[in-house]
Structure 1
Amino acid sequence: MKMHFSPAALVLLISALSSPTDAGKCPKMCSCDGAKLTVACISKNLTEVPPTVDEITLKLDLRNNNLRELPRGAFTHTPYLTHLNLQRCNIIIVSEGTFRTLGRVVSLNLAYNKIDVLYQESFDGLSSLKELHLDHNRIEEIQPGAFTQLGFLNMLGLTHNQLVYIPNMAFQGLNNIKWLRLSYNSLNNLAHEAFAGLFTLNRLSLDHNELQFFPTQTMNRLREVTRLDMSFNPMTYLGEESVSMAKLTHLYLDHMSLQDLSDQALSGAPQLSHLDLSHNQLRNLEPLLGPKELRSLNLTGNPSYCNCYMRPLRQWASVRRVKLLGACAGPPHLSDEPLQAVDPQKLRCRSRGETLKDEFEREDERSESALPTAKPKPKVKCPANCDCDADAQHATCEGRGHTKVPQGFPTKTQLLDLRSNHFHYLPANSFRGSGQVVSLHLEFCKIHEIEGGAFQGMKKLYYLYLSDNDLTSLEPEAFAGAPELTYLHLEGNRLVQFPGSALKLLPSLFVLHLERNAISKVEPSGLLSSVTPKLRELYLTNNTITSVAKGALDSAYLGILHLDSNQLTEMPTHALSEAASVEELSLSHNSIRWVGPNAFQPVSQSLKRLYMDQMGMEKMSQDALAGLGPGLRALTVRGNQLEELPDLSPLSGLEVVDLQDNPLLCDCSLLPLRRWIENITLEVIAICANPPEIRGQKVRDVKVFMSCPENVSPPDEKVVVVASGGLSKVKKPKPSLSKTPAVKAKAKAKLPKAAKKKPQKKPVSSNAKHSKKIL
């Protein structure tokens, strides 16, 4: 008897049969989810990676095992992994080639292991990696070239290790790094070129180290850093021009040993808006020269003596509208008076005798407070199953299984960490009594709905992390009550539309993360200029965007725009027409095969970094980069199908160039590129794919160009547009070559298909011969 199945039933049957939850597919002692393609083998005392994990697994969790060593090829049977968790596995050694088949992994967690050295080939193969967690290991050495394969890495965590020194070019290859975390090490020295090549770095954490002096020369290389944390380092003094970082907006120098600060120490940081000098030894401070955008100066916990020497600072803060945090430590009649509220007329110097008397009284108070009979500090009020630190003004309930937002945190709490709980739903007024909170973490809380007014009363909220939840939409009033919100993280949700209506209540929004959602279109309604007038950075990576409408990106301030890993098929030139301030544009991993003339003309005066890797690009017009000149610092077109390139000679300011993995046709039409390579000091890797006899050789080295006429006709003369499969191509007359065997062969017949294949990659030496490394 024949059985008949409907198409839907057949799909379900095939899915069930191929599910990794089958007994034969799921490793013993592990749990598998066939729907989500995840395998978890947590705390099973495993000594090796299970060899029977299903090939189609996307997420593999091996936490709390005893792997000790990761051998070469440990993950060859799971090539589709995107997330790999190897926390607390007693790993000591990561062998060369361990991850070589994991080209799709975006998150790798190796925290809480026993790794002591990062070798040159440790992370080879992780070409798509976005996050790498190496915190809480024993790392004391980073070998040259350890990170050269991690060109898409956004965040690198190296906190709680044993690093003492960072050598030159230690992080070479991190072309897209945004946040580098080096907190809680023993760093006492940084080489001048320690951070060379990190042109996209926005945030650097160096707190809790042993730096005794501000590493001025090292930091000068970091032109894009906006946030720098140097707190908890034993520095005692900052001299003139110590900080020269043009885009720095937030600087943390708290809990150090600063006794003095030159009024010109920050003269090279004109954009600085928030300066934290709390808990140092500063008795008084001169008005700061340089930072024209300063809005907040934190002097809490300093022995600020409010006499005539403090008056200039108080008057300067009043005129500049700088908010002063902290209180007077003396004289007695002004003790505990807030610096922001003290009347400048009261800041006067008294006679020498009275001043000495005040000093003696303060010394007596210090002595009394140090006596063993002093009363112990009162117990800090804190919700059940949470931890609160009154001194640090932090509170955390991370991963405690809460289903409702706990209530009753200390009123002075500034950082509230509630990540990895199970809230599902945030009702109105969820954070009563949290009016001082500056940073709120709600990642991985399974939130699928936020009621209007959920953040009501959070007037000082500056950072909100809602990453990796289940949001499909946002109510217009979702962020009501948090007008100062500046950094909003919504990546890793299921949003299908740009949440424009919900952003109208956020006039201060500066950075918006919407990566890894399901947004398919970017429309003019409810975007940027009318909704978020101050938006500077917009991240839309890994959505399903097929088009960006004209006017959708209108903004006078937008500086960073990431549209990579979407489904665009043509350049969004028209959409950029009113976004004339864009400095960084990423279009990599879209399907844009043709880049026409004047593609970047709307942003030609501002663009500094342009990324167009892995797009299947077959052709670039000779005028594709028209208008771009010395201002462009980075250009990458790696992994496309380009046989020719436009003239790059106008781009005299380039510091990063990546032309690798393109099937370049080395004939006289490529002569301008050859001449450009010869006339620059940068190392540019450009490989010939055709003609076959010189395949694999560098453009710089081949001799075919010696036969080219000195005056080659401009490639774009007498262009002929040829329609081919709906794709317009430009066919150009080739300059005549001398009759070499290669040219004769090409004239007789077309090249075989084999000649079109990409040349095999050659290993790149880890020894940088130039101060500017070009991939």
Structure 2
Amino acid sequence: MGCPNYVVYLEGSSGARRRITSDIIERSAFIQGMIDFGVDRDDDISVRVPLDEHLLDPLIDLLGFDVVAPDRFEDSTLLQLVPVLYYLQAPDGIIDSICWTIGQTFAIPDGQWSSSRVEQQWHQHARTVGLADLPGWVVTELTCRLARLAFRDKCPWRVGHSIVHWSSRSVWGTLRKDWFSNMPSGTAVHELNLGYNWIESLQGKRVFERFSSLRVLILSGNRISTIAPGAFEGLPSLSSLRLVGNQISTIEKGTFTDLPSSFQKLSLDHNSLPDGVLAGMSTLSELILSRNQIVRLTTGTFKGLSMLTHLDLSGNLIVTIDEGAFDGLSSLQKLYLESNCISSRLVAGTFKGLSALTYLDLTCNRIAAIDEGAFDGLSSCQQLYLGGNCISSRLTTGAFMGLSALTYLDLTGNQIEAISEGAFDGLSSLTNLQLGRNCIPSRLAPGTFKGLSALTYLVLSGNRIAAIEKGAFDGLSSLRELYLDSNSISSRLVAGTFTGLSALTILDLSGNRITAFDEGAFDDMSSLHELSLSGNCVSSRLTTGTFEGLSALTFLNLSGNRIASIDEGAFDSLSSLIKLYLSRNCISAIAKGAFRGVFTLEQLHLDDNHIRTIEPGALEDVFCLSDRDEDSTGGSTDEYEEPPMFCRLMLAGNPICDGWGDDQYLASGLPSGVFVKHWVDEFER
């Protein structure tokens, strides 16, 4: 069979053309395929292929094209463009090889799709056939154009798969329904991803009507500014439409009308939408409008969205919420309003009608005060986020009334200066309270947390608390974790400070100014597992009985204090202790009996002290050596052979280690046969 009479040209932006010679045409494996597209093999096909001038000449050099006089031809159809890129092949058929498998590359079964898989397969194939050896700019241009033609004219959906992913900057301009004219009607594509292309507008009605089985349509990351009314008609199974990150500033009436009853999720975040753009989506369950330019929520804004369960308005410019703004949202469960400009006060009735709401996020606004009744009607709300606002002065009585189901309350990063007695009235279900990084000063008074009998987690870090009065934690019988780090608690911890916290397992007092502990300071804390006192001003000595009653303690951090000595039996009652941190103190000697009874210890951190001597027998209990004799290690131990150890000992940065230069040493004063490594503490301090 002879070669057809094809005359194919490449044309640059200045009008210069290059003709593809017939021997290249004859080599193409795609000529037979042209018959399937209805092209008469006896036709002369004149093709204009627009390429940037900087790309044209190197391609000519690469492929050996003949040069002809520059004159213009009419634009070809996309069908006529198909053979051009098939003819742009090196002698080993690189482009032909990629095109041969294009359908398989994009045929992905349900449940196996991921956003990057197609791109990974494409580049992997390019490497295996040698495309990666071409100059980078050539590869970019060829793959981009080949991708576009393959998507439209090779029709990847012909292979009968259910997901089509095409996000390679190969689709641009105005999208009309004839763009899909080569696709057989009724093809069972369930998900179509045209995200991250250069689509600017959807023109005409029923643009995607050939996708009658479509459930998910992704158009995110394009340049869409205009959507014709009715563009999404003809999609009886559509459930999700994603238009994230476009340039949509207006939505014409009728754009989202006539959507099917199956339609549930609309994502319009990162556009330029103003107020009042929604109507006619009664079946919608999830609406994402974050990162737009909405300034005010007026009465009736969401009218008709009775099935909506998730509403995301985060990252807008909302200053005011009118009374009745959420009318009609009787099914709403989650409301995201973080990172707006909501200012002044939350007034009574703001969230009226949201009886099904379980989650409300108001983080990072400009809220200064909460009026009594502001949360009326939110009887189902379980999580409330108010962090990063400007709530100042005092939390007043009744501020959270009506939130009987609330379990999580975040007030982190405000300017709260005081908490009135009864401020948390009505929060009988609250389990987690975040009050970190506020301005709570002076003293925690009795009754501060009255009524919070279910509370298990309390954060008061980063405030200005100077003292804790007896009874400050009365009623917190369920509390398990208490964080008081980075405050200004000074002087002594007196007996009874934590009375009533019998269920507490974690207590963090690091970064304060505590100088000493009275005997009984930790009474009634038999369940405590972790105690952090690092970065305080504990000075002089640790005396016997300091930690009396903490029999369940496994972690004790006393690093960064001013401890100079440890009395015999200071840790006597800590029978479960596993980790003990005494780094960065002023300890100069370890006396016998200092660590008496700590048989369970696995880590002892004494690095960066002033230790010069360790009395004989001082560490016997630490290393469980009191009953060990020479035979227990199988006789004498070679000087450089490390024997079994029961505890990791950190001694780096002490005078006793001066002169050490190798990996391990026998330190003067340690029990016979015990070696230590010259480590810097590798654990969290």
Q: TM-score range by the shorter chain?
A: 0.3 to 0.5
Greater Cα radius of gyration, structure 1 or 2 = 2
**Which is richer in strand?**
2
